[in-house]
Amino acid sequence: MSRAGFTLIELLVASVMLAIITAGVAASLATGLAAWGRGAAAARQQEPWLVLSELTRELEQVAAPGAERAYLVAGDAQSGNLAADNLLFSSACLRTEGSVWRALRREEDDQPWQPIPLRAQVEYALDLGDTPGLYRRELAPAPAEPLEAEGDWELVCPQVRGLDLEWFDGTEWLAEWDSTARDQDPLPRAARVTFYVEPERGHERLLQATVPLAPRFDANAETAP
């Protein structure tokens, strides 16, 4: 004689099997999410030459439109036998994904509305502690004057072990710069950025770039010491 439905034992067995399958799927999902998180973090920690390119690109935009918020403050510091300078500046070049844009109309020549990026305050600094490397943080929009930000630092390049910054004032290269303390020519004409990268196979690696900050100024042609 046929019967309809399931017995209590069959339901219990089915429930146990479903619980085992669910636990397995959850474990696999958790492992996948953890791997994705590690991959995303590694992607943000870029190669030194890419970070140097982004830093110089941001520096080039210090004197971009919005000069009322243009400032640059760089300290000269040392860690062991390597430079460990720090840098704070306002830039109109945001690399952060999802940067806010606004429209600007130039009234003097009656130009149409054009999108321009909001200026951001950008900071770079070295940390040679438990998690060494070059760190960056950003505050947007940039305040009118340099402000001690409260945001979290992001490790952008763990291979960088030294950061040396030099600033050309038109006559000589200086080890530090503070635009807030200069009444005339608050911004340097050029910057020279040097990364001391983690040695590879016992050989020290050094990356350097010279950046023009003043209009029509060719920093590469400058021969000042």
Which tens digits make up the pLDDT trace of 80-97?
888 999 999 999 875 544
Mean pLDDT of 171-194: 92
Question: What spatial distance separates the first Cα and last Cα of the chain, rounded to whole Å?
Answer: 103
Mean pLDDT of 98-103: 48
How does the average pLDDT of the chain come out, rounded?
A: 78
* pTM of structure: 0.68
With b for 16 or more beta-carbon neighbours within 10 A and e for fewer, the 188-206 pattern comes to: bbbbbbbbbbeeeeeeeee
Which tens digits make up the pLDDT trace of 3-50?
556 677 777 777 878 778 887 776 677 666 555 555 544 444 468 999
pLDDT interval class at 101 (50, 70, 90): very low
What's residue 126's pLDDT? 92
Note every long-range contact of 47-52, with CB atoms under 8 Å and residues 24 or more positions apart, other chains counting. 47/157, 47/159, 48/157, 48/159, 48/160, 48/195, 48/197, 48/205, 48/207, 49/207, 51/134, 51/156, 51/157, 51/160, 51/195, 52/193, 52/195, 52/207, 52/209
Which tens digits make up the pLDDT trace of 205-218?
899 999 998 754 44
